[in-house]
Amino acid sequence: MAVWLAEQVGPTGHVVATDIDLGYLRRLNVPNLDVLEHNILEDSIEALGSASFDLVCSRLTLFHLLGRQELAIKQMVKCLRPGGWLIDEDADWGTAAPADPSHPLYAGYHEAWRDGEWWTLRGYDKAFGRKLPALFERCGLEEIRHEAATEVVRGGSPWARWWAVTLEVINELGGGGAVESYQHELKVMTAALADPSVWLMRELLHACWGRRPREA
């Protein structure tokens, strides 16, 4: 996203990419891109430039911040100049499961996944994306628009392989690495994700955008 945005604004534009861990961003070598270590929840926004950005965006980040999303959005709004835009892409993850009830692997996956409660138990917001318009409005934005999309893909597809790795990482981060029942659930789900005969509904990816009011 950082590189793409730098390409969009061209040589006369300027992009700032922030993260709490710069391991990946440090690899980028783009003339009009600055990389800054920053925590939107804890660090001063003066380091970024209060009320100076035409556009602030985040992608698949806020669902991690359970109970703190509204604060993060308020801080990002403060970074916008009057009339600037905030864009966030986040997801509802409960839909990410086999779509055909007649498939032999359908029931086992859904029993383990429990419409995303597997995700919730590990400290993540499984249905955050749909909340974005209300949060944007509470944070003072106007001209709010929102859309969502998903698709159905096969097991073994690039998305299914990515999702299998994601579940393994989330299981470890959520403290389920050594729990036998959690390992069994993970094995059941990754088996379905690897099977090309399984059709899978992806996550429902939401995009929401809104404008900071112009000064009177």
Query: Is the separation of the CB atoms in 134 and 163 below 8 Å?
Result: no
Angstrom CA distances, 20 to 64, 87, 100, 126, 172, stand at: 13, 20, 40, 22, 20
pLDDT of 205 reads 96
pLDDT higher than threshold 80 for residue 103? yes
The token pair that represents 193 in the structure block: 């994700």
Angstrom CA distances, 144 to 53, 68, 92, 148, stand at: 18, 21, 19, 14
Token pair 């993060």 in the structure block, residue? 72
**16 vs 69: CA distance, rounded Å:** 21
Which phi and psi angles does 203 have, rounded to 5°?
A: -60, 155
pLDDT tens-digit readout, 186-215: 999 999 999 999 999 999 999 999 999 997
pLDDT of 177 reads 65
- Mean pLDDT of the 34-49 span: 92
pLDDT of 182 reads 84
pLDDT of 210 reads 98
**155 vs 151: CA distance, rounded Å:** 13
Query: Is the separation of the CB atoms in 194 and 164 below 8 Å?
Result: yes
- Mean pLDDT of the 59-64 span: 89
Helix (H) or strand (E) holding 108: helix 106-113
**184 vs 173: CA distance, rounded Å:** 17
- Mean pLDDT of the 158-178 span: 86
- pLDDT bucket at 50, cuts 50 / 70 / 90: confident
pLDDT tens-digit readout, 78-89: 999 999 999 999
Which CATH number applies to 38-211?
3.40.50.150
pLDDT higher than threshold 60 for residue 216? no
- Mean pLDDT of the 140-169 span: 96
Q: Kindly list the domain boundaries of the chain, sorted by start residue.
A: 38-211
